[in-house]
Amino acid sequence: DDDRPCFARYGSEEFWREEASGHGGHLFWTNAWDTTQPDNWAWWRLEFAEGGEYRVEFYAEADFAVFDRTHYVVLAAGASTPLTVDQSAGTGWQPLGTFVFDAGGNQFVAVYDDIDGAVPDDQHIAADAILLTRVGVFCGNGTCDPGEDCTSCFDDCAGPVEIPRNGIDDDCDGEID
C-alpha cells in the first residue's frame, strides 16, 4: 500500500494530491501530461524471499484512476517491461500481468505521469496499492511438487503416514520405505 516502506513517490509535491479513499482508505494521484520524461512517478520496491512467478495487480478507485494510457514499468529478474494500462477499466484490483521475479531485491513496479501525445484535462493517475500473488508450482502451495521433498519443503511434503514401497520418505522421518 502507499503507506508502506516499499512505496515512494517522486516529483513536484504541488502536483501530488492525497485522498482519503482507495485501498486502506488512502491514495495519491497526479495528472497525466504530454512529455517524454515523467515529472511525477511512484514505485513499489520489491524484495522476495522466494523467486518465482507472480501475478501483479494495482488497486483502482474510479474517481482517481481515470487515465486510459497510464505508463507502468515492471522490473522483474533483470528484465524491464513497459506497460500501457487503462486505469479506468475497473474499480478494485486490476491486472498488470504475470512476471517471474528473482529471490531478493532490486525489482519494482513503477507508475509514471508521462505520455507521448495529447492528453485531455483532468486525466488522473492513481498511485495506491499493488498486490502480488504467487502462481504456479512453489513451496507453500500445499502440494509436494516434483523437485520438492521433506528437506526443501517440509510443509508441503510431510505426509501424515508413510506410503509403502513408493521410494519416498513420505512422513519425513528420515527413512525411505
**Percentage helix, strand, coil for the chain under 3-state DSSP, each rounded to 5:** 5, 40, 50
pLDDT (tens, 9 = 90+) of the chain, 177 residues, equals: 998 999 999 999 999 999 999 999 999 999 999 988 999 999 999 999 889 999 999 999 999 999 999 999 999 999 999 999 999 999 999 999 999 999 999 999 999 999 888 999 999 999 999 999 998 777 777 777 777 777 777 777 777 777 777 777 777 777 776
Segment holding 32, helix H or strand E: none
pLDDT of residue 74: 98
Longest Cα–Cα distance of the chain, Å, equals 71
Residue 150 φ/ψ, nearest 5 degrees: -60, -35
Q: Which three cell numbers stand for residue 41?
A: 512517478
Residue 10 φ/ψ, nearest 5 degrees: -135, 160
Q: Where are the beta strands (DSSP E) in the chain?
A: 7-10, 17-19, 27-31, 33-34, 41-48, 52-60, 70-76, 79-85, 92-101, 104-112, 114-115, 124-127, 130-134
Q: What is the pTM of this model?
A: 0.81
What's the distance, CA 17 to chain centroid? 23
DSSP type of residue 163: P
pLDDT of residue 105: 94
Q: Which residues contact 173 (CB under 8 A, 6 or more apart)?
A: 162
